Amino acid sequence: MTEVAVSKKGQITIPVELRRKFHIEEGSKVEVTEEDGVIVVRKLPSIFDLAGSGAGKGDVEELKKMLDRMREEDV
């Protein structure tokens, strides 16, 4: 466990070891929540983290049919 100080503005610094471990870089988004009286900080996935996560889960022909139906509804 690493102790960090809270600034006058309520800011904290995530220790470098944790930023490296969880690939938190400048511009990364984190979520701050409260769970059972504990403050929890979680890294939010970026679009790049999600790339390929749906591979093999869709049928190309079925997706084309869905797009065609959606296009018809827009007309």
Triad 47, 19, 37: Cα angle to 5°: 90
Q: Contact 1/18 with Cβ under 8 angstroms? A: no
Residue 2 lies in a domain: no
Considering the entire predicted model, what is its pTM? 0.59
Q: Of 24, 43, 48, 19, which Cα lies nearest the Cα of 32?
A: 43
Assigned domain for 11 exists: no
**Domain span including residue 22:** 16-74
pLDDT tens profile 24-70: 999 999 999 999 999 999 999 877 776 776 677 778 888 899 899 99
User: Do the domain assignments include residue 10?
Assistant: no
Tell me the sheet residues that pair with 32.
Answer: 41
* Domain assignment present for 4: no
Tally the domains of the chain.
1
Report how far residue 75's alpha carbon sits from residue 73's, in angstroms, rounded to the nearest whole number.
6
